[in-house]
Structure 1
């Protein structure tokens, strides 16, 4: 009788083990349901049990029993402590093994933020402030405090950050984001400075950044950047004033979209009609192409240019030619 009971218990145990093995195999070999595009956030310091509870709560894993299977598997594989914090997009039809690989890989959801060529730093700051995925540490800080926070105190921020499209995970601080854009600009500027042309009129990389920012604001036509830089280079070499409207505009507080004769006559540190040489700082964030043009100006003899009104320019060697172009394209005579 006792032997019979023992055999029955053993049989039940074997059946239970077989059922568990079958159920476990079913779980690991079957794609998870309802996972297409679902978001899972893993917090810093979160235990694996807490992660599995969240998987159930978010309906990525449909049953607490399956969560226990995943927990046992992660511990068996020795990766339960290797899960990276962040926000994950769980693709459709993922198997539990692939889900675990995703969480260990740290391939978190990436957000996109584009810093636009020709923008001012104030516009960059507003763009970052409006982005809900960034962790905002710089709110209410002055520009001076911002530059100190990213490790570059006593530097003017204008022109220092590379315009580009950046991908970043949720929770990245605005400080880290700005450091990344600053470093990208510095690397590119240093590389271009090392390969600059012999006839460039600037003496330092920072002056190149200033000149590039003016080139950036003067033309949106890619083929003209080198020619614009050439005009400014020759004017600097001849001791002529740059006489470029974008610098004047930068020096006007509360600019309303119209530049007047009185603005051209009003002296500010940025008025290149009243002051010789480059302005004290960049006036915008220059693109890679503008930096390259500033350090590799197109050879020529033109020292004037005027807009045609369609984004392109007419270049002239003499004041008489320039005045005729101004009459034709600006005054309509």
Structure 2
């Protein structure tokens, strides 16, 4: 009888140890990030008077935690539940519960949000100016950060894959962003980089495998297409024309790159203009310039990755936003005489 009782107690003890191990393991798993590879910035508002339960539900709705009950239990266990503050927060799904609690204890901003619009084709100088003027931020600090891709090199997949990128010109995705008015320079830049990184992983990478260009070359050429093409329906044709020139070792002869080299925009360039001594003057240099001349929009990037199936080598602006395309120099000269004179 005693042997049976002893065996029964042993089974209970082993079962209890097993249950305890499972519970601890389940708690540990639930405290980990929802997705350690997802650094996309998520704006979350915690209203005044929110309980730990309210906060857990808000985080769950934004897919920032795995289990609201475990979150509440852990917050109480660590005495964090009485320290959580209301405010506006920029969080991400690669944050653990410990990291989320740390941020929520420090407190978020309480100001209102504002929309900032970054249009296609802006240089980093113009981008920094646009943001700093709208949000009252430090222009010089923002420009310094934009010129220092290495500072962000471990945080975004496109920079991890391409350590050669040293400036963020070309990678600050044109878009309308909703940010908090009290956001600092780095936070705003990170929101923009997250947007580009998502586009890189979801749209660029699948198409890049079918292209002979590197991502650096794609963004470089897309920045030229951005300034040369006015109509979206012509972007893939303009991209194809430039790619055809590269294939036959023909100079790109892009007016956009000359304007970038000159530092100002002119609709009509003179012979003196296109003779400027600059590595960005594609009337002189072979191939692509040293880097992007602006940050292109999604349509221009996709146009380079999926160009039109045409054999054009030339195009002339017709004056209404469209272009006349041709595959031989005689037609090109005739078009120039018709549309430019």
- Scaled by the length of structure 1, the TM-score of the pair is 0.63
Between the aligned partners of 1:115 and 1:284, the Cα distance in structure 2 is 12
Q: Find the structure with the greater CA-based Rg.
A: 1
Change (3 A) 1:256 1:330: closer
Change (3 A) 1:300 1:113: same
Alpha-carbon offset, residue 116 of structure 1: 0.5
- Contact 1:200–1:233 at 8 Å: present in 2 too? no
Change (3 A) 1:269 1:299: same
Alpha-carbon offset, residue 110 of structure 1: 2.0
- Contact 1:248–1:263 at 8 Å: present in 2 too? yes
Between the aligned partners of 1:148 and 1:273, the Cα distance in structure 2 is 29
Tell me what 2:304 maps to.
Answer: 294
- Contact 1:189–1:291 at 8 Å: present in 2 too? no
Query: Does 1:155 pair with 2:150?
Result: no
Tell me what 2:113 maps to.
Answer: 110
Query: 1:260-279 residue pairs with structure 2 within 5 A?
Result: 260-279=270-289
Moved more, 106-115 or 287-296: 106-115
Between the aligned partners of 2:121 and 2:188, the Cα distance in structure 1 is 19
Query: Does 1:322 pair with 2:323?
Result: no
Change (3 A) 1:211 1:205: same
Q: Which runs of 5+ in 2 are unaligned?
A: 1-47, 50-80, 90-106, 154-162
- CA RMSD of superposed structures (Å): 3.1
Between the aligned partners of 1:125 and 1:106, the Cα distance in structure 2 is 22
Tell me what 1:85 maps to.
Answer: 87
Between the aligned partners of 1:139 and 1:284, the Cα distance in structure 2 is 18
Moved more, 286-295 or 255-264: 255-264
- Contact 1:189–1:205 at 8 Å: present in 2 too? no
Query: Does 1:236 pair with 2:246?
Result: yes
- Contact 1:162–1:286 at 8 Å: present in 2 too? yes
Tell me what 2:184 maps to.
Answer: 173
Change (3 A) 1:178 1:195: same
Query: 1:118-157 residue pairs with structure 2 within 5 A?
Result: 118-132=121-135, 136=137, 138-141=138-141, 143-148=143-148, 150-152=151-153, 155-157=166-168
Between the aligned partners of 1:216 and 1:224, the Cα distance in structure 2 is 11
Query: 1:55-70 residue pairs with structure 2 within 5 A?
Result: none
Tell me what 1:96 maps to.
Answer: none
Between the aligned partners of 1:210 and 1:164, the Cα distance in structure 2 is 19
Deviations 1:251-278 (A, max 9, x none): 1145677632111122211011101101
- Contact 1:201–1:233 at 8 Å: present in 2 too? no
Change (3 A) 1:142 1:260: farther
How many pairs were matched up? 236
| Secondary structure of the structure 1 residue equivalent to 2:178 | strand
Alpha-carbon offset, residue 194 of structure 1: 2.4
- Contact 1:192–1:291 at 8 Å: present in 2 too? no
Alpha-carbon offset, residue 169 of structure 1: 1.6
Alpha-carbon offset, residue 315 of structure 1: 0.3
| Secondary structure of the structure 1 residue equivalent to 2:294 | coil
Alpha-carbon offset, residue 284 of structure 1: 1.2
Query: Does 1:246 pair with 2:247?
Result: no
- Contact 1:208–1:295 at 8 Å: present in 2 too? yes
Alpha-carbon offset, residue 172 of structure 1: 1.1
- Scaled by the length of structure 2, the TM-score of the pair is 0.62
| Secondary structure of the structure 2 residue equivalent to 1:261 | coil
Change (3 A) 1:229 1:254: closer
Between the aligned partners of 2:267 and 2:242, the Cα distance in structure 1 is 24
Alpha-carbon offset, residue 143 of structure 1: 3.9
Q: Which runs of 5+ in 1 are unaligned?
A: 1-46, 49-78, 88-103
